[in-house]
Structure formats: C-alpha cells, structure tokens
Structure 1
Amino acid sequence: MMPKKILIVDDEPSITVPLKFLMEQNQFDVRVAHTGEEAIAIIDTFSPDLVLLDVMLPTVDGFQLCQRFKENPRHKNLKIVFLSAMTRDIDIAKGNTLGADAYITKPFSNAEVVKQVKELLAG
C-alpha cells in the first residue's frame, strides 16, 4: 500500500523540520513548502492526501490557500489541518468555514497532531 502523502506548509523551519521528521516516523510521504506559492506549485504534482497548513504565510496566506485548494475539483478529497498561532475564535471559525478539517493552535503537542492526521486519513 502506498504511504499517505502530507504537505507541510509553514515558513518557520523550527516547525517544519521536526514536523516532517515526526510524520516520516509515522510512515507518511512528506513534502514541505515555506510559502503559499511553493505550496501551489507542489500540490498539483505531489497530490497530497492532507495538508498541514500555517495561516500566517508571506504573500498568500493559509486561509487563501485553503479556499483555493477546496475550490479545485482535483483536490476535493484533500484534508486540511490548520496549525496556527492565531488562536482567536474568529480565526478558528474562519478556518472551519473555508473547509478546514481541523484547526490546531500553536504551540501544539506532536501527539495531538499525529492523532488528528491519522484520524482524518483513516476516514
């Protein structure tokens, strides 16, 4: 069976490096994008099953990316999990309204992220 594919989109190496390692330890095939543009370039060729998405990105933010991915019929089964330092109810509500499957606030526990990813990809 092919490993599930995860795209991590975050501009902080202090987040992407350990997160990539963590996901690979859990047998996922992982790619990393540090900007929205990079994510857009990677998503069509890599076709991830799930995106771990930061909200605050340079130029194209996570909310815009989420909306763009969800509007594209090619990505209709894509799961999106926001990992964000934006913890206000209004931000979380916006993420959910745009179609996110989960919204995890930073700082997050690795166990929580792995659990959420596995639950979403099991369904």
Structure 2
Amino acid sequence: MRRFLLRLIINAVALYAAIALMRNYGITPTSQNWYDYLWLALIFGVINAVIKPLLIVASCPLLVLTLGLGTLLINTLLFFLAGWIGTQFGVGFTVDGFLPAFFGALIVSIVSWVLSAIFRDEVK
C-alpha cells in the first residue's frame, strides 16, 4: 500500500510539473485543487498499466525500427488520453495539439524518473 501511494504521489507531482510548465504553451488545467492531481495521477496510472502494454506489443516492429523512439509517441498519446479522460471527470487538462502533448509527456517522464530515482528504496 505504501508503494502504491508513493507511486501515486510521484505521478501527481510529475503531472503537476508538466501542466505548470506547459500552461502558457498549450496545456490548460480544468482545476487547481491538489487532490484533483491525485485523481488525475490515478487515471494516468491506470491508463499506463492497461493500455500502454497493449500499444507496445502492437507496435513492436515500429519500436524496433525506430530503436525505441516510438515509445515517445506512445507516451504522447497516453498523456493526451489521460487529460481527455480526466476532463470527462472534471480533473483533467486540455491539450492544444501534438507538440504540447509531446513536451508534457516528456516532462512527466523526466520528473517521474528523477523522483523514482530519489525514492528508489521506498518504491521497491
């Protein structure tokens, strides 16, 4: 349970960072409450746990051909999808195109990687 909560908080902080940094560049949050970011992180985690493995398996030849850079496109799609699904529940964000979604997904990946490295002993 402790590991789940830590992963949830890491995802919430990463999503907050992406939305805050990209606010003037095409990502608009629908809410500013801190607990909305926890709900959004839960939606993002479920999407990454369910849909991401299916997309990776389905696009395996493309991933091999692009030497893994195709995962950036998958992450962009999932970031956009998490925002759209969250918006349906009133906790998400809107994205105004591919580039804001790409950079938002990149920021989420970097921030969650750094935080997971900092809290590596607690996440295991």
Q: TM-score surpassing 0.5?
A: no
The structure, 1 or 2, with the larger RCO (C-alpha pairs under 8 Å, 6+ apart) is 2
Larger strand proportion, structure 1 or 2?
1
Name the TM-score class by shorter chain.
under 0.3
What TM-score results when the alignment is normalised by the length of structure 1? Answer: 0.26
Larger helix proportion, structure 1 or 2?
2
What TM-score results when the alignment is normalised by the length of structure 2? Answer: 0.26
